[in-house]
Structure 1
């Protein structure tokens, strides 16, 4: 038993020694103070737009206990509570990095030793290239525009293309024009037209970007321009109307015909800066050079007629037996050729003498003075030929109309053609239009108070201006007839009484009958003017009233409110009073009468022409004997009008009297000075 106890004692001693030996080994192991070995490697070092894989390798004698990572520069304190843990496999772990930057990796071994390693990732490029587009010209140009392309990218540029229009990136996969980069990462392309252009750039990592530039400063079209002019007080105001993409830079003008914009003559021209109008005081051709801001040029020329010199050609110059087409043309050619020889620059031809027309009217019948019978189609258009023949000779053509006159010496409706509106109104079953035509004295007249009549007259004038290239519409002195002492109870007095009654009933004060009649005429005149200008503003409308203003203010005749027309815009372009008296006439001497008309005019838009009675030259006139005595009455009348500085033209009544033998001395003296203006 004692023996067994000794054995047990020895065994216990041995076990203690063994345990003591193991504890010594453990104590030796716990003395590992060396930090783990850590290596960080990235799988890609060239630029890439995908993630970079970082491989972490950690080794240690005591073994690895913890591996963490975080973006940025971090310390152990940070990782004590933060960071993303990694699991090692054979001492290796991997991390996918999506962004450039510094990344920290934290490793702790089993002995508690710690190691922080960092790696800088800078080869990830997910940013498309930066593109700048700059045109070499921003101001208007009539040449091409060069667009400089500036590129900036970390990875470097692989491809640059451009195309016209707005394009997306996919377009450039198989399309677009490639550009070659310079060493400073710039390139350029040239465009010849305005529009949007797209540039596509792709870097070496495959990032692509498009950028657009709008080019709008290319203007290679010449300016559109037109010239017009108006005359007042012996001076012409020339208006230059322009339309251009880039805008007008300068307007130059000179007298004469110069059509070459590169001509040296423009060096001596006048230049407009702050206005598009200029005034000239001599007739002739003027040339205007318009240069736009891109350098394009246009030259326009305009023939300026400073003074109107016109002859009245009345229905009395035509035969009531009618003409064949060839006969009519021969007649017109002769009259217009003679008018040119007389130094005229316009003809005023009576195309509606008595409610009938020397033109294809939608309202009035053909005139007896072209076909020989009212209402009969002559088979040609007289007015069309007259306008053509006048313009061919450099003559303006003014269509002369009598608005109200239907007949001169008869009140028999059967003398009118069946398509004459006056006869139609008389014979139809309606009683509402019976007073559209009035009989007075020995003549028939359209009723000035009738709205239907007024509308018909205006519509027919619109018909003329639309169909024919006339330069003017002209009324003479025939409006209301002289109604005599019974003017309050004749002619259109019934319409006045109706007006008076309705006005009074409305609580208003009616006009007197003479004021009412003047208003009827003025309403027609205003509507004619408005209608003409709505169709063609260049067509003139003018009236030649009786020359004695006092007579025009009488209560029983004319009823033309020349004072209103001469002081208010919107009625006429010109007034041409018939001042048919000599300088020594006792009641209306020529010079005093001209001056009275000029004093009456206050509107700056109304020109003053003078109607001259060439038919009186060398004739015996009982109350005006100077006509017979003088050899230069016509000449002196023109010279006086010019001397006023305010008379812009002369109208001579009438054509056939220029060719009477007795007055040739007057004609010769007149012609001598006519074209010297």
Structure 2
């Protein structure tokens, strides 16, 4: 039976004149922990201070309209959580292997705090970096470089897992499997560091592995096959542990140059395919990853890699998966182009012209702290003024949750108290309840898509209460209640009201609450 009951109130909420914005848009920032780039601040080894600092960063991002954070929890074969595989990170406690004092689990804490604020948490892991600065990094006795030194190669002052070593690959997969199994992360996120960026005049020292495992492939094809191999293994492991957990990659912004392949972009730069041995297009085509976040840290008109060129290219090469553009807010003020206050706003505007682009990720969090070029204000008061839902991924889960029920509606002072509960037939986990109001004065124009979001409640369990403020101008308002599941699918509006709504007259406010038995919510 269609749930078509509608609530009409002769009243009105405060309405803002805002520029139309996407209802669905991924809006995130990276929080880098390696070398204390973003969190925790260098030398901050206090549990309570770390918690407060992280919460302050979340609150800043929330004010700016972001709905997700991508937090580095495994920067260097170490852990920002208790792990059976890897020691505590030196950037958390000052010494690798040393637990926080007083003890806490940072990953569990960070996930919980993000979800409280209606923000997704993507666990960002570096696949192969194992010792950040050889001879300078803090290395615990049980670190994998000590227990399996044969798995590692040194290059440019950093120690890496040998990507061609299958035992090393399986170890990394087990580390990620453990995270997905034990924590309520919304996604696993990998950045652009697979094979390291090339250093002029220095060859990556994997000759021995190549001679042992090359199997007749060219060196470049063999290296790419190694990267393909671990991506496929990771994809399978993540979905085996939690089919709803997403897998995303943030590659360098260029797959191939057109001079190397007709399908490449009109750019002149190093590439994922040829220098980093990462065939991101293959992973998208094969469905091994759920989203791609190309790092397009270039300005409009860049001579070798123009933002507009790469934006257009990625929009046409995401192969049905989500594409979130990596934006370089950290470049503010670094050259003439990035001293232009319109650079970032124009990039957002250009991005929104492509339906194949579902959002943006900003590098990185500390850049926001200084509000460069006033861009925090641009997001908060303009581009992200209205909250957006994270786009669902139908290939993971396309089933809508059941509409919630409303068990109580009554006036309280100058507000309407609306109590919402999880319906008894609901089988999905609900992460959010949403309340909309429709301001159309024509009785028959009862269209949910004309409604304005006036409130969201996250982390509210099986029920929540909305207080909808009322005004005295006696305009018609119709209310809609929906819920979101963990995969961002929104229910249809309007439950079948489990209670009979009687007409209520409140003389002081001069408004009437009634039930509309014949209204239809278009959806």
Task: Give the TM-score range, shorter chain.
Answer: 0.5 to 0.7
Q: 1:349-498 to 2 correspondence within 5 Å?
A: 349-378=71-100, 379-411=103-135, 415-426=138-149, 434=150, 436-484=151-199, 490-498=204-212
CA distance in 2 between counterparts of 1:576 and 1:588 reads: 16
Call closer, same or farther: CA 1:614–1:484 in 2, change over 3 Å. Answer: closer
State the match for 2:5 in structure 1. 264
Q: Secondary structure at the match of 1:311?
A: strand
CA distance in 2 between counterparts of 1:450 and 1:548 reads: 27
- Counterpart selection for 1:627 from 338, 342, 354: 338
- Counterpart selection for 1:647 from 321, 341, 357: 357
Q: Which has the higher contact order (CA 8 A, sep 6+)?
A: 2
Deviation of residue 411 (structure 1)?
A: 4.8
State the match for 1:545 in structure 2. 251
RMSD over aligned Cα atoms: 2.3
State the match for 1:343 in structure 2. 65
TM-score normalised by the chain length of structure 1: 0.50
State the match for 1:568 in structure 2. 286
Q: 1:16-31 to 2 correspondence within 5 Å?
A: none
Q: Contact 2:247 / 2:291 at 8 angstroms: preserved in 1?
A: yes
Call closer, same or farther: CA 1:511–1:553 in 2, change over 3 Å. Answer: farther
Deviation of residue 417 (structure 1)?
A: 0.6
- Counterpart selection for 1:597 from 305, 310, 314: 314
Q: 1:60-209 to 2 correspondence within 5 Å?
A: none
CA distance in 2 between counterparts of 1:573 and 1:540 reads: 6
Which structure's CA Rg is the greater one? 1
Deviation of residue 398 (structure 1)?
A: 0.5
CA distance in 2 between counterparts of 1:401 and 1:597 reads: 23
Q: Contact 1:321 / 1:373 at 8 angstroms: preserved in 2?
A: no
Q: Secondary structure at the match of 2:28?
A: strand
- Counterpart selection for 2:369 from 659, 669, 672: 659
Deviation of residue 599 (structure 1)?
A: 2.5
Cα deviation per residue 1:435-477 (whole Å; 9 max; x = unaligned)? x011112110011111111111111111111111111111111
- Counterpart selection for 1:518 from 206, 220, 224: 224
Q: Secondary structure at the match of 2:224?
A: helix
Determine which structure has the larger strand proportion and give its number: 1
Q: Contact 1:309 / 1:343 at 8 angstroms: preserved in 2?
A: yes
Deviation of residue 554 (structure 1)?
A: 5.5
Q: Contact 1:634 / 1:670 at 8 angstroms: preserved in 2?
A: no
State the match for 2:27 in structure 1. 309
CA distance in 2 between counterparts of 1:546 and 1:490 reads: 19
Call closer, same or farther: CA 1:373–1:496 in 2, change over 3 Å. Answer: same
Q: Contact 1:401 / 1:475 at 8 angstroms: preserved in 2?
A: yes
Cα deviation per residue 1:52-105 (whole Å; 9 max; x = unaligned)? xxxxxxxxxxxxxxxxxxxxxxxxxxxxxxxxxxxxxxxxxxxxxxxxxxxxxx
Q: Secondary structure at the match of 2:295?
A: coil
Call closer, same or farther: CA 1:411–1:514 in 2, change over 3 Å. Answer: farther
Deviation of residue 480 (structure 1)?
A: 0.8
Cα deviation per residue 1:113-144 (whole Å; 9 max; x = unaligned)? xxxxxxxxxxxxxxxxxxxxxxxxxxxxxxxx
- Counterpart selection for 1:670 from 379, 382, 387: 379
TM-score normalised by the chain length of structure 2: 0.64
CA distance in 1 between counterparts of 2:171 and 2:57 reads: 31
Q: Secondary structure at the match of 1:332?
A: helix
Q: Secondary structure at the match of 2:147?
A: helix
Call closer, same or farther: CA 1:615–1:484 in 2, change over 3 Å. Answer: closer
Call closer, same or farther: CA 1:490–1:395 in 2, change over 3 Å. Answer: closer
Call closer, same or farther: CA 1:461–1:444 in 2, change over 3 Å. Answer: same
Call closer, same or farther: CA 1:283–1:593 in 2, change over 3 Å. Answer: closer
Deviation of residue 486 (structure 1)?
A: 6.5
Q: Contact 1:658 / 1:664 at 8 angstroms: preserved in 2?
A: no
Consecutive unaligned residues of structure 2, counting only runs of 5 or more, are: 9-19, 257-269, 389-523
State the match for 1:245 in structure 2. none
CA distance in 2 between counterparts of 1:523 and 1:458 reads: 11
Q: Contact 1:483 / 1:491 at 8 angstroms: preserved in 2?
A: no
Cα deviation per residue 1:468-500 (whole Å; 9 max; x = unaligned)? 11111111111111345777x642221111123
Call closer, same or farther: CA 1:668–1:320 in 2, change over 3 Å. Answer: closer
Call closer, same or farther: CA 1:490–1:326 in 2, change over 3 Å. Answer: closer
Deviation of residue 626 (structure 1)?
A: 1.4
Q: Does 1:559 align with 2:277?
A: yes
Q: Does 1:327 align with 2:49?
A: yes
Q: Contact 2:65 / 2:379 at 8 angstroms: preserved in 1?
A: no
Stretches of 4+ aligned residues off by more than 6 angstroms = 281-284
Q: Contact 1:476 / 1:544 at 8 angstroms: preserved in 2?
A: yes
Q: Contact 2:30 / 2:69 at 8 angstroms: preserved in 1?
A: yes
Deviation of residue 553 (structure 1)?
A: 4.8
Q: Secondary structure at the match of 1:656?
A: helix
